[in-house]
Structure 1
Amino acid sequence: MTVLAATETGIQAGAGGAGGVHRPAYLVFCDVDETLINCKSMFEFARFQRMRRYGDAGARWYEELAGELRRQSAAGAPREAVNRSYYRAYAGESAETMTTLGRAWFDLASREPGFFIASTVAELDRHRAAGAEVVLVSGSFAPCLDPIAERVGARHVVCTTPVVQDGQYTGEVPEPVIGEGKRAAVLRLLAEHPGVDPRDCFAYGDHPSDFPMLDCVGHPRAVGDDPAVREHLARRSAGVANSGCALACWSMGRDEHSEGCSGDCALPLG
């Protein structure tokens, strides 16, 4: 698995390195929280790791953090700013300890029925069987995402990566992978796969902040029932002249060759 991290200059390969020989049939970009899993990984992990280490004091720390982030969001702070505030709460934490706790959180959480969204997992399995590479794209970070990626067979993880000095988080992040950060990440990874046509690629998301990612590929998919996401995909579908594709083909995880679709969608890349 190649781990990719957002940096000030874009996306760089992590220690796994990118396979220079393998050429996927296409790429599938998938958001994680409430698209692939039925929770918000960053919040669930924050609660778990603090309570595991500090008991009731850890629970109070989590409630204070969650309350502050909710206040920022209610006041209209951009999601990128809220994301940065989350990571500032980890200043001084050991990166190694967070990685260990991330796996412990996943081992426990993934045993719960419904942790994964089964329909999304099935779609990713179908794409991998067709020769695609799966890319997880998230504002969350590697301690939460790496175990998820391994479970679903994702070849790449594109995520927010806290700055580490002397083995500890500084509390800063170069660039959150949210909104336009997702677009930049997706475009950079596409550029690193010159044999892959973006019009052949898929993307899955559940929130308007996923629009920049969804607009990079030929086959966007909505997970869940957010009306803004449905409307966005409906407008995009309507803008493709004579495509013959209904909204269902775009947003319900159906293949272009399923009933009601012409299968000849030539889509704009946003």
Structure 2
Amino acid sequence: MTTVAERARPALAFFDVDETVIAHKSMVEFWEYWLARNPSRVPEQVGDLRAEAAASRNRAALNRRYYRRYAGVPLADLEAAGRRWYETYRRGDAAFVRAAVDAVAGHRAAGHEVILVSGSMMPLLEPLAQELGAAGVLCTELVVRSDGALTGEVHRPMIGESKAEAAVRTMRERGVDPSDCFAYGDHESDLALLRAVGNPVVVGSSRVLNEEAERSGWMVVPAGRGPLRLESA
């Protein structure tokens, strides 16, 4: 028999962010925004980020290299720039994945806690989390010097297995049953996260994820893009 305490225990819904909730890669979009406004702060010998991302198969190593671009930047400056970038980004007519934003609203209406899980950084994710009403963010954590500036290093990229481990840890801390929880992802690097819960949802057309969805009976939703609409949240 289900007890009152068990009924009150919330389920969690974990959402990858880039190309799952928002329609683009936040780190790339923000870098181009930052580059245009802070040319004097860009390290020498920094190559084209889109080309580097396309050529790399090791997402964790790429994640670490990305954050080294911000070595020496005060965290407060990056946070302010992240808020300004998001305020511009959120107005785009094709900035969000419609099915995922609708799912966020549906989970919140059902009383579930929404948790964003991303290799991106808090200065970019916090404004999004606030707007969506997310209860938490699991992301790549930046190493900050005693003077408040970034070292350029990170504690651990929130990529691949790290997402699953963080989700499992969060479910244990919240005292929820993984079989009651949900996860949404668009890329094969989200596979471990999807397998960590009882209700995985594939967003979009990743061959690896769609094949797994067909084998395992997972839900698949389209990655159609549109503007941000929160009326049902």
| TM-based fold match above 0.5 | yes
How far is 1:180 from its partner? 0.7
Opposite residue 80 of structure 1, the aligned amino acid is A
Select which of 195, 203, 211 maps to 1:223. Answer: 203
Determine the C-alpha separation between the residues in 2 that align with 1:84 and 1:176: 7
Aligned equivalents of 2:54 and 2:107: distance in 1?
39
Q: What's the Cα RMSD here?
A: 2.1
- 1:251 has 2:220 as partner: yes
Q: Deviations over 1:77-111 (max 9, x none)?
A: x1101100001111111100000000000011111
**Partner secondary structure for residue 140 of structure 1:** strand
- Find the structure with the greater CA-based Rg: 1
Select 2:149's aligned residue among 153, 161, 168. Answer: 168
Helix, strand or coil at the partner of 2:152: coil
Is the contact made by 1:135 and 1:156 (CA closer than 8 Å) also made in structure 2? yes
* TM-score (structure 2 length as normaliser): 0.86
Letter in 1 for 2:181: C
Question: Residue 180 of structure 1 aligns with which residue?
Answer: 161
**Counterpart selection for 1:66 from 49, 66, 74:** 49
Once the 2 structures are TM-superposed, how far is the Cα of residue 151 of structure 1 from its aligned partner?
A: 1.1
Partner SS, residue 93 of structure 2: coil
- SS at structure 1 position matched to 2:80: helix
* 1:96 aligned residue: 76
- Structure number with the bigger relative contact order (C-alpha 8 A, sep ≥ 6) is 2
Which residue of the partner structure matches residue 123 of structure 1? 103
Contact 1:51–1:58 (CA under 8 A) maintained in structure 2: no
Query: Matched residues in 1 for 2:210 and 2:153: separation?
Result: 34
The aligned length equals 214
- Residue 67 of structure 1 and its aligned partner are, at CA, apart by 5.6
How big is each residue's C-alpha offset from its partner over 1:50-80, in whole Å with a ceiling of 9 and x where there is no partner?
A: 21233xx78997972416633750xx4x110
Cα distance, 1:30 vs. partner?
0.1
1:199 and 1:79 map into 2 onto residues whose CA distance is 28
Q: Report if the CA contact (8 A) 2:183-2:193 is conserved.
A: yes
Displacement over 3 Å in runs of 4+: 57-63
C-alpha separation between the residues in 2 aligned to 1:98 and 1:64?
Answer: 20
Please name the residue that 1:109 is paired with: 89
What letter matches 1:180 in structure 2? E
Structure 2: 5+ residue stretches without partners? 1-7, 223-233
Contact 1:200 1:219 in 2 (8 A): yes
TM-score (normalised: structure 1) = 0.74
**SS at structure 2 position matched to 1:102:** helix
Which structure carries more strand by proportion? 2
Identify which of 193, 197, 205 aligns with 2:174. Answer: 193
Structure 2 SS opposite 1:128: helix
Q: What is aligned with 2:34?
A: 49
Query: Structure 2 counterpart of 1:113, which letter?
Result: D
The amino acid of 2:16's aligned partner reads D
1:135 aligns with 115
Q: Deviations over 1:180-225 (max 9, x none)?
A: 110111011011011x111011100000000110001010001111
Percent same amino acid at aligned positions?
42
- Do the aligned residues in 2 keep the contact of 1:28 with 1:127 (CA within 8 Å)? yes
